[in-house]
Structure 1
Amino acid sequence: MLKNTIKEQELKIKDLEKELEALGVQGREQAESERMSERDKEENEDSIFIETGQNVVIDDYCEFVITSTTFSKKIMPPRPDSFYSYYEAKEPKTTYLDVVIDIKSLLTTGKIADEFATVKIVYNDKYEYSTFSTIEEDDGSDFTYTNITSIEPLKRGILHFLAEVPEEVESGDESVIAIVTIYNQNYKYTIR
């Protein structure tokens, strides 16, 4: 009789452990969802919305303007020379999204180009894609690396921020937003 009671209690304990585990998973999922929506809310509150061609000035740092955005399997410099670098989406059913930003340095010394800005792409208000950058050189005849190229005081650099995205990001109807972060400030740019 004592053995039966012990087995019954062990079964009850296992059932309670399963209930607690299920509640823990649900609690973690709910907490993560709340954190994500809180992050989105803060990001929206702290963001400044900008448009194509809108010149934005950050005193004593830089001025910038988003000049264009393009989807393409192959990203080439605007005026390619006989030899030039280009970027081609290699994965099947992907394409590049190219966000072009013209940046003028308002600093008193040169700064490495890739330190001015970061860009991420948000599709359908939830899917995030990181970018890497390249910079035009020789009046747009080629690209070079932003991590070795300095933008000197009062000079401009044309940066291309590239995200390799699924083709449905290009062909879909859902929103596509670029979030440009410069000098700890988020700027939201609606692509679609």
Structure 2
Amino acid sequence: MTPFLDEQFHDLKQELKITEKSKSQLRNKILQKTVIVHNRDYKNTRSWYAPILTAILTIIVMIFLATQSLDTLRQAAHNMFYSNDVVVPTEVKIMEKIIVQDYIEFTIQSNNFGKNIYPTNSGPTSNYLNNGNKDEIYLDILVTVRNLSSTELSESDDFMDIKIICDEREELNSFTSFERKSYEDVQENKFSISNNSIIEPSQTRVVHFLTSVPTSVEKDGKPLKAIITANGENYEYIIR
């Protein structure tokens, strides 16, 4: 009986060894697969993490831009494109004599609003300029201009230009109307006919720079200024 039992015991031990070996192999396989799964999860995480981060940053930038005022963005764009070409005009005041060297001498006499614009020192028979546009009036900037050059200056040559800036945004062009020379009519001043809108050398003329503006501009209290250009020089006249 003893040899038989010994043989049975030996066989049982062999089976147990095989079982332990199988368990060890199985455990190793499970660990290997677990590592592979973890690696795949890490790669997948990187694949979706970058687009989400980009989207978040884009949203943050959009929110920042949306909070900026339109004026700030407009000014930034202006500085970006014109930073090398900024012209700061010289400020002028009413009744201040301005000399543009070897060209003209001018003085702003007054500014007035009106549906009808009359010449200075007008009499009962004076002609006048009427703004026929509905809901619009004239802004009249009255200027005396003396010709300092050796050649005559004319309206057609744009010897001087005035643009009106309303509320720092809207830019409006003006046109000119000359008053007659003193020797043409000694009794009263009238507006000149178009072919007499010239300034001879050393001569002084009274010129109306007229801009058609909405009627509301007269009393709305918003910023109003004139940009004057003469022979490449720029000036700024603050009306209010």
Under TM normalisation by the shorter chain, which class is it? Answer: 0.7 to 0.9
Shift of 1:37: 6.1
Quote the Cα distance in structure 2 between the aligned partners of 1:144 and 1:43: 39
Choose from 170, 173, 189 the match for 2:218. 170
1:122 maps to what in 2? 165
CA 1:42–1:98 in structure 2 vs 1: closer, same or farther (change >3 Å)?
farther
* Aligned counterparts, 1:112-191, within 5 A: 112-114=154-156, 115-139=158-182, 141-145=189-193, 148-191=196-239
Quote the Cα distance in structure 2 between the aligned partners of 1:162 and 1:125: 19
Quote the Cα distance in structure 2 between the aligned partners of 1:53 and 1:130: 22
CA 1:161–1:146 in structure 2 vs 1: closer, same or farther (change >3 Å)?
farther
Quote the Cα distance in structure 2 between the aligned partners of 1:32 and 1:147: 43
> If you compute each CA radius of gyration, which structure gives the higher value, 1 or 2?
2
In the comparison of the two structures, how many residue pairs are matched? 163
If asked which structure has higher relative contact order (CA below 8 Å, sep 6+), I would say 1
Choose from 52, 56, 63 the match for 2:94. 52
RMSD: 2.8
Choose from 106, 131, 148 the match for 1:64. 106
Shift of 1:83: 4.2
The structure whose residues are more often strand, as a share, is 1
Q: Could you say what secondary structure the match of 2:164 adopts?
A: strand
Shift of 1:109: 2.3
| TM-score, normalised with respect to structure 1 | 0.74
CA 1:143–1:177 in structure 2 vs 1: closer, same or farther (change >3 Å)?
same
2:116 maps to what in 1? 74
Q: Does 1:111 align with 2:147?
A: no
Q: Could you say what secondary structure the match of 1:172 adopts?
A: coil
CA contact 2:97–2:105 (8 Å) conserved in 1: yes
Structure 2: runs of 5 or more not aligned: 1-72, 183-187
Runs of 4+ aligned residues of structure 1 deviating over 2 Å after TM superposition are 31-46, 79-85, 145-149
The structure whose residues are more often helix, as a share, is 2
Structure 1: runs of 5 or more not aligned: 1-30
